[in-house]
Amino acid sequence: MSAEIVYRPIGFIRSGHTQPEKTPIQPVFAAGCFGRVELLPEFAAGLRDIEGFSHIYLLYHLDRAPAARLTVKPFLQDVEHGIFATRTPCRPNPIGMSIVRLLRVAGCTLEVDELDVLDGTPLLDIKPYTARFDRVDETRNGWQDGLDEKEVQARGRRMPPTQSARPTALTVAVLGASANPERYSHKAVAQLLAHGHTVFPVNPGLSTLLEHKVYATLADLPAPPHTVTLYVGPERSTALADAILAARPRRVIFNPGSENPVLSERLKRNGIEVLDACTLVLLTTGQFYRTASRHKGKNP
């Protein structure tokens, strides 16, 4: 006996991915692909305590999937397999699932990394990933065990996510820039440069980063920054509050882990835009420019 089952979206997924053929095929290939999960307000209470988890499952409707098929050639191999032995999207019930890294919770919005989902995808559910229940150490992986790893990497990564047009290059100071490629401050410098911005990394312990000069303090910058993006903790940013104000930025971004409500209020009182947001997410989703465009004009 068949019965129709109807779900409605609890929100939508925002990413830099707009073309299926250029989107990573799994989160493991999507490191540095940042985005947002925007929950509808009536479900906000359901996010309580989710910030304690490093990773979450996203379940979503594959609204742009091809027509369903029962045998397919998956992305990683030119051999047909049953649809249920693959993760190909053309399924009888087009439901997708991704494990993504949770960066920050801000109201009804989750900022995430390792996102392999098309922009605007309807969200069906969120569940926390927990190693206690979900980790499996000894597995069999079917036809995938015979794949060549280099070929898997080449096919899985595909192309970088589509970036929004660059209307104007901005001058951005990265406070707390790191030489460690795994740190988000390092990734921010790299992505800001890739987007065509003028970047001033700030760290008294470094001299160069990605072939660019690193400045010891904000006072050493050769020009006033449009934006200061913070990758230091609240204790450090409080100590640097006068220096941040003296730099006269139009905007200050507090990245995950750097939030400082007292400093935020002081900056606002001085006419400076304040964002609690992830710089990498803003860049990937095109919000970096849109928030800046609301504050055009001379520095205060």
Q: What is the pLDDT of residue 20?
A: 87
Q: At residue 51, does pLDDT exceed 80?
A: yes
- The mean pLDDT value of the chain amounts to 89
Structural domains of the chain in order of their starting residue, each with its CATH number: 11-157 (2.40.30.70), 171-293 (3.40.50.720)
pLDDT at 76 over 70: yes
- Distance (Å, whole) CA 206 – CA 193: 18
* Confidence class for position 300, pLDDT limits 50, 70, 90: very low
More confident residue, 17 or 123: 123
Over residues 122-135, mean pLDDT? 96
Phi/psi for 52 (5° steps) reads -80, -5
The structure tokens listed for 164 are 């929004």
Using 50, 70 and 90 to split pLDDT, how confident is the model at 293?
low
Report the distance separating Cα 40 and Cα 48, nearest Å.
Answer: 14
pLDDT digits (tens, 9 = 90+) for 180-203: 999 999 999 999 998 889 999 999
Q: With bands split at pLDDT 50, 70 and 90, how would you rate the model's confidence at 152?
A: confident
| DSSP codes, 193-258 | HHTT-EEEEE-TT-SEETTEE-BSSGGG-SS--SEEEE-S-HHHHHHTHHHHHHH--SEEEE-TT-
**Region 246-253: what's the mean pLDDT?**
94
CB 167 within 8 A of CB 192: no
pLDDT above 90 (res 28): no
95-109: average pLDDT: 93
Mean pLDDT for the stretch of residues 140-156? 81
pLDDT the model gives residue 162: 44
Pairing mode, strands 121-128 and 55-61 = antiparallel
Would you say the pTM of this structure is higher than 0.75?
A: no
Share of the chain above pLDDT 90, in %: 68
Question: DSSP states of 89-102 as a string?
Answer: S--SS-EEEEEEEE
Q: Which amino acid is at 146?
A: G
Distance CA 283, CA 258 (A): 18
- The CA distance from 195 to 165, in Å, is 9
Whether residue 156 is predicted with pLDDT greater than 80 in this model: the reply is no
The reported pLDDT for the residue numbered 201 is 97
**Lowest mean per-residue pLDDT among 9-23, 141-155, 231-245:** 141-155
Quick one: pLDDT at residue 78?
Answer: 84
